[in-house]
Structure 1
Amino acid sequence: MIIQSNALLNRFSSTPLNRIFLIILVSSVILGVGVGYFLSSTAPNRKTSTSSNNGGSIEIPKNAGTDKRTFRDFAEGTLQKKSAPKKTDEYVEGTHVLVRAGAVPVALTSSVVDLSEYEGKKIVVYGETQKAVKEGWLMDVGMVEVKE
């Protein structure tokens, strides 16, 4: 019977390069967390508030959204909240309706502009026409201008 004396456990050599890599990795993570915390605490407040500090009237911006060059479609009219569907499983396009005098109403949706701030106002909306299933015209709004 032959017995081999090879050790089953070998110790890896710890080179200075491995230690340097580990130090750089740990310091990068700590620095990244610190910079992220600093930026989040010093960034301006991005929440929009419709109430004023003195408890007075609500100020609605005259313009909201991005530039007009991005959006080639526009419509003008009075903005109204879309009524809730009678059936809960009914498909509804848009969250608001732009009522236009003598023309087809425009169903509106937007992830850029809060349309509820402009309900009951005469506005011009700039956006991109979307394919509508039920409505005559469905628009994704990117910019709003108040007319009155």
Structure 2
Amino acid sequence: MDGDHDGHALAQVSAQAMWANDNASRGLGMTLVSVAPGEAVLSMVVRKDMVNGHGICHGGFMFTLADSAFAFACNSHGEPAVAQQCAVTFIRPVREGETLTAHALERSRVGRGGIYDVTVRAADGDAVAEFRGHSRTIGGRSPSTKSS
């Protein structure tokens, strides 16, 4: 096997282990669309209980979708990683019933730190939010990647 194939396999195994225990993302109706080394795509339909008093998607739900994509991307290398810092910019409102897709991409991974950019898009392809997350590995190996 070549290194690229090994990296994709590790990303898949890591994602499966995380997804099995990710009650928050699953509970919000998110779908894990794809994962690769340093990259992840998740989607979510904006439900009625996600709409705020202005009749638009509460920003916290868009942030959570982006944060979940970030989490799968930064944990795709088999080392447990958590968010150290995150920021989001909301671009346009999102309505109930819209499907959002968050695409996370690794920009830098040096030592224990990583930087990831996530674009959240509506079904029409318009960007509705931009998110930047800084990760920090916490030591050890993901449970799914430990040697037997």
TM-score tier after normalising by the smaller chain length: under 0.3
Give the structure, 1 or 2, with the largest relative contact order (CA under 8 Å, sep 6 or more).
2
Query: Could you say which structure has the larger radius of gyration?
Result: 1
The structure with the greater share of residues assigned to strand is 2
The normalised TM-score by structure 2 is 0.23
The normalised TM-score by structure 1 is 0.23
